[in-house]
Each structure stands twice: as C-alpha cells, then as structure tokens.
Chains A and B, each alone.
Chain A
C-alpha cells in the first residue's frame, strides 16, 4: 500500500461547527504533515509530526488542532473556523531519515468550505 488516504474528500461546515479531517497511511512512515493549499497557490505547511510527536507548528491558529493517535493516523480537528479557512487540506507522509529531506507522499486532500 503506497497511498495516503484522506477523508472526507469534501466538507462544508458553518463557523460554529466542529469537524475533523482524517489521514491514514500504511507505508510505515514516521513523519506526517498537514498542508493548506489555496487555489493557484503552493502548499503551505501547518504541522509536522515525527514519531507521533508534534515537531513543527507554523503558528497556526488554535481553531486548528492536530492529533496523531498512532503512527498510521493523523487528524486535524476544526472548530470555529472562518470563511478564509476554506481551502484544500493536504496530508502527507515521509520516511523518517530526516524530516523534510525526503519524498513527501501526499493524499488527494480534503476540500473544505466554511460558510
């Protein structure tokens, strides 16, 4: 299995809702990432987990809360989002030679719309 699987593919939520994005990989990768991508823009790093521990938080607002319950799963909990948070949220994983210096395997993304 060489895929990163993200659910849901599409999500529409109101500003008072609480929802979660999920990401799963079974490649034995010990580094997992959340990126945010707006239309016609590059992926923007949000969080990095290595060995299930948060190693990079790019000053992301607390309305985004990451969680890595085990080495195969990565969640992003969403609460009280703003319309400008609407974007494609990409999960990625990589081998743990050194975080950030190897191939990133991206999921297809979760397209989030905040009303």
Chain B
C-alpha cells in the first residue's frame, strides 16, 4: 500500500540543539525522498532531497540519511535557530506508470525552536 509514516508529530528543541525527524515508507520501489518545509501560512518549499542510490546528503546545517534495507530516512538539523520553526514533511516517490512517479507525503512534524 501507499504509506509514509513520520515521527514525531511535534518536536520542541532549544536553540542550538539538534533536531531529528524520521520517516518510514512501505513500497520498496520508492526511489526519491524529498523533505519540504512549510512555515505557517506559506507554501511548502524543498529543503533537501536524496535519491535511492545515495545513503547520505548534507547541505550546511541540514542532512538526510537513507536506509533502503530498513525503508527509512531521516532529516537532521544541527544548530537549530528560531527561523527553523515550521512544519516539515517527508515524502517518498514511487513509479506510477509510464514516465510518471507518484509522491506521497508523510504526516508532518511541527518543529518549534525555543530561543
């Protein structure tokens, strides 16, 4: 079936601490895993993504790891800042048919960074 589980649903950290959000997908054919950040009242925006042929990717304070065997991937934010406060959605993309993949979003994590 189509399912992307995301944990935790809410996460509160102190400024400067690290935050970790975890996702699990069910379809082993999934091959693309983006993370989107959505600030209150704003559009979702891509912050980092990883493809199935890579185990880890880093961009400044943000990193994503992928374990294909266990079918889970994680977002790591280091040195958190108040402007990191937002809802974060993981997603997994699987072949749908022809030249099309289908992207399934996780349930979201509300991250609050306390100053």
Chain A residues near B (Cβ < 8 Å): 40-45, 48, 50, 55-56, 90, 98-101, 103-104, 106-109
Q: Which residue of chain B has its CB nearest to the CB of A106?
A: B43
User: When chains A and B are docked, how far (Å) is the Cα of A44 from the Cα of B96?
Assistant: 16
Least distance between A54 CB and chain B CB atoms (Å): 11
Least distance between A96 CB and chain B CB atoms (Å): 8
Chain B residues near A (Cβ < 8 Å): 31-32, 34, 36, 42-46, 49, 51, 89, 93, 96, 98-108
Contact between B108 and A41 (Cβ–Cβ < 8 Å)?
yes
Interchain Cβ contacts within 8 Å, total number: 60
Write out the residue numbers on chain A whose beta carbons fall within 8 Å of the beta carbon of B103. Answer: 45, 100, 104
Contact between A98 and B101 (Cβ–Cβ < 8 Å)?
yes
User: When chains A and B are docked, how far (Å) is the Cα of A114 from the Cα of B107?
Assistant: 25
User: When chains A and B are docked, how far (Å) is the Cα of A54 from the Cα of B49?
Assistant: 26
Contact between A56 and B34 (Cβ–Cβ < 8 Å)?
no
Contact between A101 and B31 (Cβ–Cβ < 8 Å)?
yes
Least distance between B92 CB and chain A CB atoms (Å): 10
Cross-chain contact of A106 among B45, B96, B98, B106 (Cβ < 8 A): B45
Cross-chain contact of A42 among B42, B45, B46, B105 (Cβ < 8 A): B105
**Complex A-B, nearest 8 residue pairs according to Cβ-Cβ distance, in ascending order:** A100-B101, A42-B105, A106-B43, A99-B100, A101-B32, A103-B46, A100-B93, A100-B103
